[in-house]
Amino acid sequence: MKQKNLTRLSQQYETALEKLLKQGPGGTLRPALKLGHAAVAIGVDTLELARIHNQAMDVLGLTGVKNAFAKLAKIFFTEANAPIEATHLAAQQGKASLSQSQAALGQRTEELAASNRELQRGIIQRKTMAAKAAKNGEHYEKNLKESLLLQKRLRLLTHRVMLAQEDERTHISHELQDEIAQTLLGINVRLLSLKEHARNNTKGFKAEIASTQRLVLQSAKSVRRVAREIGYQPEPPNGASEST
């Protein structure tokens, strides 16, 4: 199909060139420009157009001739080749633009890959921190429950000691009540503080638990000391031996 188009274009080129040569330098070059656009339309490049031009020069007897006709024929070829050259230039610019776009795309892809890796590291860190926080929360909750249980047992023990006291030891009983009441009040305050710290601040949570445990131990010692003085020996909770 292209060969047929080339043959037609070659005939049209020869006819248009011959007409221009007859018109002389004052002739129009519009047919040459039209032929150039036709050549672009069928995919003819500069080399193929040069072959068509040389064939026309042979037919017109201008091959190897250096005169005004040969110069005019050269101008005709230059005009006809102009659309082809413009297409080549546009193609080169398009390739350059494509290369730039591909380079920019490659850089953007690398940036996105780096951002994705950073995001994945952040997700892993957040998961690790969340798991650690959950574990710490369970530990603090366990300590809080144990503290509440100690408080309950301490209240029960205090009640039993108070019931077992004799009339002649009323003074000791009152002294014991005051001491235990103050200790229990301190424990209650500490437990409320623990609950608030569990919600807002876990940094000082262990210190608060340790302080509450010391209050519980102090109260337990007071109960045992006074119990020994009034002749009552409380059983250690859960059958544990008395070590303090």
Tokens of 84: 């082809």
Helix%, strand%, coil% for the chain, nearest 5? 85, 0, 15
Q: How far apart (Å, rounded) are the C-alpha atoms in residues 94 and 211?
A: 77
CA pair distance 145, 152, nearest whole angstrom: 11
Best-predicted range by mean pLDDT (45-54, 166-175, 189-198, 228-237): 45-54
Measure CA 124 to chain center: 12
The domain spans of the chain are 2-110, 125-239
In the block, residue with structure tokens 């437990």: 191
Distance CA(61)–CA(65), nearest Å, equals: 8
60, 17 in Cβ contact below 8 A?
Answer: yes
Amino acid identity of residue 160, one-letter, is R
Angle between helices 2-23 and 46-59 (to 10 degrees): 50
Q: In Å, how far are 68, 103, 131, 237, 239 from 20, measured between CA atoms?
A: 12, 49, 89, 123, 125
Is the Cβ–Cβ distance between 183 and 215 less than 8 Å? yes
Determine the topology of domain 125-239 in CATH.
Four Helix Bundle (Hemerythrin (Met), subunit A) (1.20.120)
Among 22-36, 107-121, 151-165, where is mean pLDDT lowest?
151-165
pLDDT for the residue 142:
81
What pLDDT, on the 0 to 100 scale, is given for residue 240?
Answer: 46
Please say if the pLDDT value at position 137 is more than 70: yes
Q: What is the chain's length?
A: 244
Rg of the chain over Cα atoms, rounded to whole angstroms, equals 53
Per the listing, tokens 């235990």 go with 180
Terminal alpha carbon distance of the chain? 110
Tokens of 32: 């040459």
Q: How much is the pLDDT for 231?
A: 63
